[in-house]
Amino acid sequence: MDHEKELAILKRRLDREISSRRQAEAILEQKALELYRANQDLRILNESLEQKIAARTTELEDSELRYRQIVENATDIIYRADAQGYFTYANQTASERLGYTQEEIIGRHFGELVHPDWQQRVNDFYKKCRDEGQINSYLQFPILTKSGETIWLAQNVQFIQHENKIMEAAAVARDFTKRKKAEDALKTTQLRLTSLIANLQSGILVEDESRHVVLTNQLFCKTFGIPAPPEALIGIDCSTSAEETKGLFRDPEGFVLGIENLLSEKQMKVNEELEMRDGRILLRDYIPIFGEGKYLGHLWQYRDVTEEKRAEERLRRSEEKYRGIIENMELGLMEVDNMGRIMRAYHHFCEMTGYTEAELLGKKANDVFLPQEFTGVMKQQAIDRMRGKAGIYEIQLFKKDGSRIWVMISGAPIYNQWGKIIGTIGIHYDVSAQKRLQQELFEARLRAEEAQEAEKQFLANMSHEIRTPLNAIIGMTHLLYDTSPTPDQVNYFDVLRNSSDILRSLINDLLDISKIRSGKMEVHAKDFDLPGLVRSIQKTFQLKLEQKPIAVEALIDPRLDTIVRGDDLLLNQILLNLMGNAEKFTAEGKLGVRVTRKASKGNIITVEFEVFDTGIGIPQNKLDLIFQSFRQVDGDIKRRYGGTGLGLSIVKNLVELQGGTIRVESMVGQGSIFIFQLDYEDTGIKTSGISDATQSIHADFAEKGHVLIVEDNSMNRKYLSSLLKRWKVRHKMATNGKEGTEMAQLERFDLILMDIQMPEMDGYEATIHIRNTANPNQHSPIVALTASAMLTKKDKAFQSGMNGYVSKPFTPEQILPVLRQYLGLDAPMLGNLPKVSELSEDDESCNHLNRASLIDLYGDDAAYALDMFEAFFEKIEEEYPLLFKHFEDKDWSALSKLAHKLKPAFPMVGLSWLETDFQQLENEAKEGAEPIAIELIINRIKTRVTAAMPLIIEEMKRLRCLVN
Residue 81 corresponds to which amino acid? A
Beta strands in 569-725 (DSSP E): 589-601, 604-613, 661-667, 671-686, 706-710
**Residue number, 1 or 827, with CB nearest to another protein:** 1
Q: Identify which range of 5-13, 87-95, 295-303, 730-738 contacts another protein by CB under 8 A.
A: 5-13
- Which is closer to another protein, CB of 24 or CB of 196? 24
What is the SS3 assignment for 77?
strand
Rounded (to 5) percent helix, strand, coil in the chain: 55, 25, 20
Among 12, 192, 942, 957, binds another protein (CB under 8 A): 12
Angle subtended by helix axes 530-544 and 763-772, to nearest 10: 140
* 29 versus 237: smaller Cβ distance to another protein: 29
Which distant-in-sequence residues (6+ apart) come within 8 Å of 336 by Cβ? Answer: 342, 343, 365, 423, 424, 426
Whether 331 and 428 have beta carbons less than 8 Å apart is answered as yes
- 35 vs 746 by CB, closer to another protein: 35
Question: Per CB under 8 A, does 23 bind another protein?
Answer: yes
Reduced to 3 states (helix: H, G, I; strand: E, B; else coil), residue 382 is: helix
Q: Considering the rule CB under 8 A, would residue 7 count as an interface residue with another protein? A: no
Asked if 38 interacts with another protein (CB under 8 A), we say no
Three-state SS annotation for 393-448: EEEEEECCCCCEEEEEEEEEEEECCCCCEEEEEEEEEECHHHHHHHHHHHHHHHHH
Q: Tell whether residue 222 is a contact of another protein (CB under 8 A).
A: no
Nearer residue to another protein within complex by CB, 32 or 329: 32
Question: Measured between alpha carbons, how far is 467 from 347 in angstroms, rounded to an integer?
Answer: 70
Full strand arrangement of the beta sheet holding 404-415: 342-345, 331-337, 421-430, 404-415, 391-398
Q: How far is the CB of 42 from another protein (least distance, A)?
A: 19
Among 16, 109, 128, 725, binds another protein (CB under 8 A): 16
Stretch that binds another protein, among 23-31, 52-60, 452-460, 751-759 (CB under 8 A): 23-31
Stretch touching another protein by CB under 8 A, among 18-26, 100-108, 290-298, 393-401: 18-26
C-beta neighbour count of 358 within 10 angstroms:
9
Q: How many helices (H) and strands (E) does the chain have?
A: 33, 27
Residue closer to another protein by CB (options 17, 96) is 17
Question: What is the closest distance, in whole angstroms, from the C-beta atom of residue 16 to another protein in the complex?
Answer: 4
Question: Binding to another protein by residue 30, rule CB under 8 A?
Answer: no
Instruction: Judge whether 555 and 520 are in contact, CB under 8 Å.
Output: no
Stretch that binds another protein, among 22-30, 108-116, 722-730, 941-949 (CB under 8 A): 22-30
Per CB under 8 A, does 703 bind another protein? no
* Selected range binding another protein among 7-15, 98-106, 292-300, 726-734, rule: CB under 8 A: 7-15
- DSSP assignment letter at 860: T
Stretch that binds another protein, among 16-24, 243-251, 518-526, 720-728 (CB under 8 A): 16-24
Least separation, in Å, of the C-beta of 21 and another protein? 7
- Smallest distance, another protein to C-beta of residue 26, A: 9
Which three-class secondary structure state does DSSP give residue 832? coil
Residues 768, 782: Cα–Cα separation, whole Å:
10
Q: What is the closest distance, in whole angstroms, from the C-beta atom of residue 89 to another protein in the complex?
A: 54
Binding part of the chain for another protein, among 8-16, 50-58, 145-153, 837-845 by CB under 8 A, reads 8-16
CB of 27 to another protein, least distance (A): 5
In whole angstroms, the minimum distance from the beta carbon of 33 to another protein comes to 15
From the list 7, 9, 236, 961, which residue makes contact with another protein (rule: CB under 8 A)?
A: 9
Closest to another protein by CB, 31 or 559 = 31
Which of the stretches 21-29, 70-78, 373-381, 403-411 binds another protein when contact is defined by CB under 8 A? 21-29
Q: Which is nearer to another protein, 19 or 683 (CB)?
A: 19
Strands 294-304 and 281-291: antiparallel
Check binding of 20 to another protein (CB under 8 A): yes
Residue 870 CB contacts under 8 Å (≥ 6 apart), including other chains: 956
Q: What angle do CA 349, 350, 356 make, to 5 degrees?
A: 155
Q: 10 Å Cβ neighbour count for 591?
A: 25
436 binds another protein, rule: CB under 8 A:
no
| Pair 302, 249: CB distance under 8 Å | no
Task: Read off the DSSP letter of residue 646.
Answer: -
* SS3 category, 491: helix
For another protein, the closer CB: 9 or 160: 9
Cβ–Cβ under 8 Å, residues 81 and 88: yes
Residue 308 found at the interface with another protein (CB under 8 A): no
Closest distance of CB 23 from another protein, Å: 5
| Residues 179-218, mask of contacts with another protein (x by CB under 8 A) | ----------------------------------------
Beta strand segments in 264-352, E: 269-275, 281-291, 294-304, 331-337, 342-345
> For residue 346, how many other CB atoms are within 10 A of its CB?
20
d(CA 901, CA 920): 13
237 binds another protein (CB under 8 A): no
Residue from 7, 17, 324, 877 touching another protein (CB under 8 A): that is: 17
What's the CA gap between 230 and 198, in Å, rounded? 9
Beta carbon of residue 168, minimum distance to another protein (angstroms, whole number): 49
Classify 72 as helix, strand or coil. Answer: helix
Note whether 19 binds another protein by CB under 8 A: yes
Check residue 714 for interaction with another protein (CB under 8 A). Answer: no
3-state class (DSSP) for residue 598: strand
- The answer to the question of residue 34 lying near another protein (CB under 8 A) is no
CA angle 439, 440, 441 (to 5 degrees): 90
Choosing from 27, 311, 444, 947, the residue that interacts with another protein (CB under 8 A) is 27
DSSP letter at 75 equals S
What type of residue sits at position 36? Answer: Y
The Cα–Cα gap between 404 and 396 comes to 6
Stretch that binds another protein, among 24-32, 381-389, 392-400, 477-485 (CB under 8 A): 24-32
- Per-residue contact track with another protein, 805 to 834, x per CB under 8 A? ------------------------------
24 binds another protein (CB under 8 A): yes
CB of 46 to another protein, least distance (A): 24
**Region near another protein per CB under 8 A, out of 15-23, 363-371, 524-532, 832-840:** 15-23
Q: Is the Cβ–Cβ distance between 204 and 197 less than 8 Å?
A: yes
Closest CB 1 distance from another protein, rounded Å: 7
- 418 in helix, strand or coil? coil
- Minimum Å gap between C-beta 11 and another protein is 10
Among 2, 3, 7, 21, binds another protein (CB under 8 A): 21
| Terminal-residue alpha carbon distance, the chain | 218
Among 28, 444, 599, 961, binds another protein (CB under 8 A): 28
Angle CA(562)–CA(565)–CA(566) in degrees, nearest 5? 130
State the CB neighbour count (10 A cutoff) for residue 847.
10
- Binding-site string for another protein from residue 662 to residue 681, where x marks contact by CB under 8 A and - marks none: --------------------
How many residues bind another protein, per CB under 8 A?
Answer: 15
Cα angle value 509/515/518 (rounded, 5°): 140
37 binds another protein (CB under 8 A): no
- Strands 562-566 and 526-528, how do they pair? antiparallel
367 binds another protein (CB under 8 A): no
Q: Which of 1, 45, 339, 358 binds another protein (CB under 8 A)?
A: 1
The site for another protein (CB under 8 A) is made up of 1, 9, 12-13, 15-21, 23-24, 27-28
